[in-house]
Chains A and B, each alone.
Chain A
């Protein structure tokens, strides 16, 4: 079995490109007067979150890598490092990304890590870098286990994961409208991903794709960007702070406070960790499903349109 395999750390090597692209997008917006918005403190917070994400990778990356290397020792399979294998690994890892991302929106424990990526009310290339500091604690590295056990080397899996992240950088922009139809049909694009960052009821919890939008179409979570409904970026309840520490940890603090409040059954404490964001033991809060249902009640004409449920006894 090949252990001494190395791949470039592509995310770190992409940092100069990230900086140059942000400057180019900013220049475009300032000169053209359209194509997005920038605000100093918002962008600064996003960039610090990005730097913190790199730092957390350096400090905690050994945990996931150690786990992957244990799996690599166990598996009898080794697919090698041919271009075809790397390409296959890229596609399968993108499927892995889809599910981790979907869990990230539907399981509060994972959302606690991912929420900071959605916490900006802006949508520009700095938003792409507003990444988690706490991904290791979600234990979502287990979703990569099948790839390693199938014989894809851990270094290769991390390499294609890095390429996936770099691909997703350029789609965080309002400067690009729609790509050619064939491209929109197969690939994740700025249009598809704008929808994912929307806090409009219609746009909640959809378009989880990393690189290929086909996963959302296959698994029924695709919602197109609609001309008649402009995307409103941010969280259902927007943050009142730019402090990166609070941005990084606020949902973890929320989980702790909810799960440790007095008078709850153990099952309720657990549910505050694993149920979708917005779940509460007394029904005093709203999940995305409840928000969509309430929206349809108030706007019955929108029922059954993309991203919204039909009017049923449950919603009417």
Chain B
């Protein structure tokens, strides 16, 4: 197939499908229903390290996890979730909460929506980890 046809078709196809998905409401981010859901999402990534404490964000988009081996975060990745330990994390306050920079090529940056009290709590908790 000539590139003059292939390239526009691929570009339009990708853009069209992305716009359609968004218009269908399929861009909604995952919400952690409650602490149990956050716990389950953490255990899905780290089945051998059960959370001792779960602190859910007010908008339930992420949770701070404390286990026997350290602290971590579970957060929404599109319609799903993932999790990481917070070793070596750098925290930067933002207008809407906190930005976490991780020394991890597969999860370099996490944006958290937190109110002022939550942001302070996360920062205090992570001072010991970073």
Interface on A for B, CB 8 Å cutoff? Answer: 9, 12-13, 15-16, 18-19, 22-23, 26, 30, 37-44, 47-48, 51, 54, 58, 121-122, 126, 232, 234, 237-242, 246, 250, 253-254, 294
Whether B18 and A47, one on each chain, are in contact in the complex, defined by CB atoms closer than 8 angstroms, is yes
Name A51's closest neighbour in chain B (CB-CB): B10
Whether B1 and A9, one on each chain, are in contact in the complex, defined by CB atoms closer than 8 angstroms, is yes
Contacting B78 at CB < 8 Å: which of A18, A26, A39, A253?
Answer: A39
Known: A42-B79, A238-B45. A47 touches B22 (CB 8 A): no
Whether A40 and B27, one on each chain, are in contact in the complex, defined by CB atoms closer than 8 angstroms, is yes
Closest CB pairs A-B (n = 9):
A240-B107, A39-B79, A40-B27, A121-B80, A238-B82, A40-B21, A19-B13, A39-B78, A12-B1
Kindly state the separation between the CA atoms of A250 and B108 in the bound complex, as whole angstroms.
11
CB distance from A240 to the nearest CB of B (A): 3
CB distance from A22 to the nearest CB of B (A): 6
CB distance from B82 to the nearest CB of A (A): 4
Whether B105 and A41, one on each chain, are in contact in the complex, defined by CB atoms closer than 8 angstroms, is no
Residues of A within 8 A of B4 (CB): none
B14 at the interface (CB under 8 A from A): yes
CB distance from A153 to the nearest CB of B (A): 21
Contacting B1 at CB < 8 Å: which of A15, A19, A43, A121?
Answer: A15
Residues of B within 8 A of A41 (CB): 27, 78
Kindly state the separation between the CA atoms of A294 and B47 in the bound complex, as whole angstroms.
10
Residues of A within 8 A of B125 (CB): none
Whether B44 and A253, one on each chain, are in contact in the complex, defined by CB atoms closer than 8 angstroms, is no
Whether A240 and B106, one on each chain, are in contact in the complex, defined by CB atoms closer than 8 angstroms, is yes
CB distance from A250 to the nearest CB of B (A): 5
Give how many B residues have a beta carbon under 8 Å from the other chain's beta carbons. Answer: 36
12 more A-B residue pairs beyond the given contacts A15-B13, A240-B108, with a C-beta to C-beta distance below 8 A: A26-B21, A40-B26, A43-B18, A44-B14, A47-B14, A47-B17, A126-B17, A237-B82, A240-B84, A240-B110, A241-B107, A246-B108
One digit per residue, 1 when the CB lies within 8 angstroms of any chain A CB and 0 when it does not, for chain B 82-114 equals 101000000000000000001011111110000
Interface on B for A, CB 8 Å cutoff? Answer: 1, 3, 6, 9-11, 13-14, 16-18, 20-22, 24, 26-27, 44-45, 48, 75, 77-82, 84, 102, 104-110
Name B14's closest neighbour in chain A (CB-CB): A47
CB distance from B57 to the nearest CB of A (A): 16
Whether A26 and B79, one on each chain, are in contact in the complex, defined by CB atoms closer than 8 angstroms, is no
Residues of B within 8 A of A58 (CB): 3
Whether A54 and B84, one on each chain, are in contact in the complex, defined by CB atoms closer than 8 angstroms, is no
Query: What are 14 of the A-B contact pairs (CB < 8 Å)?
Result: A26-B20, A38-B26, A39-B27, A40-B26, A44-B18, A44-B21, A58-B3, A126-B17, A232-B44, A237-B82, A239-B82, A240-B77, A240-B82, A246-B105
Whether B18 and A15, one on each chain, are in contact in the complex, defined by CB atoms closer than 8 angstroms, is no
Kindly state the separation between the CA atoms of A23 and B16 in the bound complex, as whole angstroms.
10
Kindly state the separation between the CA atoms of A51 and B22 in the bound complex, as whole angstroms.
20
Residues of A within 8 A of B81 (CB): 238
